[in-house]
Amino acid sequence: MAKTLPPEYYQKLEEIQAVDFVLVELTLYLDTHPDDSQAISQYNQYAQYGRQIKRTFESQFGPLSQGSPNPSGEYWTWKSGPWPWQV
């Protein structure tokens, strides 16, 4: 039986996905406009915010990716799922 997740899980995961989308779009823009200081500033702000919300998400719900730190030294949290691509 699948684990029931709180609505907050989905809200935070959607926010992470939105920030990641913005970062991809800004990266593509900056590839063709490397001197746009406003876009560079936006990219840096979103990158910092993305790291922050991912840390918060992982502390509450577990790892988002293979390279994420294991918050528990007592057991391997990666298997606790569901994995982000399973929701």
Higher pLDDT, 79 or 17: 17
List pLDDT tens digits, range 44-74.
999 999 999 999 998 888 888 766 666 555 5
Whether 15 maps to a domain, the answer reads: yes
Classify residue 55: in a domain, yes or no. yes
| Segments forming the whole domain that contains residue 9 | 1-62
Burial class for 55, CB neighbours closer than 10 Å (0-12, 13-18, 19+): middle
Domain assignment present for residue 58? The answer is yes
Task: State pTM to two decimals.
Answer: 0.76
Residue at 86 is within a domain: no
Instruction: Flag whether 73 is in a domain.
Output: no
Residue 21 lies in a domain: yes
Q: One-letter amino acid identity for 50?
A: G
The reply to whether 74 falls in a domain is no
Q: Which residues of 14-28 are buried (b: 16+ CB within 10 A; e: fewer)?
A: eebeebeebbeebee
Closest by CA to 29, choosing from 37, 39, 21, 17, is 39
Instruction: Tell me if 82 is assigned to some domain.
Output: no
Tokens representing 73 are 């030294």
Q: How many domains does the chain have?
A: 1
